[in-house]
Amino acid sequence: MASPTVPPVVDMAWAQGRSGLVLADVRWYLDGRSGRAAFEAGHLPGAVFVELERWLAGDPHAGRGRHPLPEPETFAAGMMAIGISDDDTVVGYDDQGGVVAARLIWMLRATGHNAALLDGGLTGYQGPLEEGLQARSPGRFSARPWPEERLASIEDAVDRANAVIDARSPDRYHGAIEPIDPRAGHIPGAVNLPCRENVDQTGRFLPVGVLRERFMAAGVGTPPGRPVISYCGSGVTACHNLLALEHCGLGPGRLYPGSWSEYSAGPDRPIET
């Protein structure tokens, strides 16, 4: 499987004027607000809307967490319906510093497609927005299996030989609150690296050197070659940490798709708070 030829994070200047580029709006909210409604109210000109729970996640009732990876055929069908083809370059964004759009970009890059996060996302765009839904002609997108070397299991996540990072907020990591999953706390041995702290107040990524120091202080890259596993609540925002790792030269890392929603559902699994 070919590797992407574009960087994991790009800015609007990089994206403008490039042929074969698709802007993808991947807004989704944990509190239940409608990403589609937000898209229709205003989005980047020419962007298409990608529905996370329809195309970027599988059946949550299969005992694999709230947002397990979908079947490759489901993902391919979604991309084709939206108008994305294998040879397109996809630039994804949201209004939360990329923490949701990262799921789409990680899925595309993991399967060898050219895709990147838009630095700053919607909040960093100064021009007029477009309203309504946009339609593109159906694309031609191949179903490709999720590469095993980019995924981690529960067994991998509890293995202290790996550097395991938790992308959730500190209060969820410490077990002070748990708004949605069965139990509060974190996987024993995991280090908290909130993905929302990869960006500044404008939604743009921190300087590469600062990001690199942040990850290395959490044990990433020590010793060199140590496997890195990222998780969050359901495997969505964990992808932001994986893209940040790649952006600062410490990636690619592995995703634990079931994340805390799968792990915490086992009443006998040990937790830390």
In this structure, are 154 and 111 located in the same domain? no
Burial class of residue 32, CB neighbours in 10 A (0-12, 13-18, 19+): exposed
- Whether 186 and 114 map to the same domain: the answer is no
User: Under DSSP, is residue 257 helix (H, G, I), strand (E, B) or coil?
Assistant: coil
Residues 75, 118, single domain; the answer is yes
Give the per-residue pLDDT at 62: 66
Domain, as residue range, for 219: 148-263
Task: Please report whether residue 115 resides in a domain.
Answer: yes
The tally of domains found in the chain comes to 2
What is the model's pLDDT at position 269?
95
| 3 within some domain | no
Residues 102 and 153 in one domain: no
Q: Tell how strand 89-93 and strand 21-25 pair up.
A: parallel
Provide the pLDDT for residue 178.
95
CATH number, domain of 166, equals 3.40.250.10
Residue 1 within a domain: no
143: CB partners within 8 A, 6+ apart = 72, 73, 75, 76
Does this model's pTM top 0.75? yes
Positions marked catalytic? 232
Distance CA 134, CA 25 (A): 11
Edge-to-edge strands, sheet with 228-231: 191-192, 163-166, 228-231, 254-255
Q: Provide block-wise average pLDDT over 10 residues at a time, the chain (273 residues).
A: 90 88 96 96 96 95 88 98 96 98 98 97 93 90 97 96 97 96 96 97 96 93 88 98 96 95 94 95
User: Does 152 share its domain with 110?
Assistant: no
Q: What is the pLDDT of residue 235?
A: 97
Is 183 inside any structural domain? yes
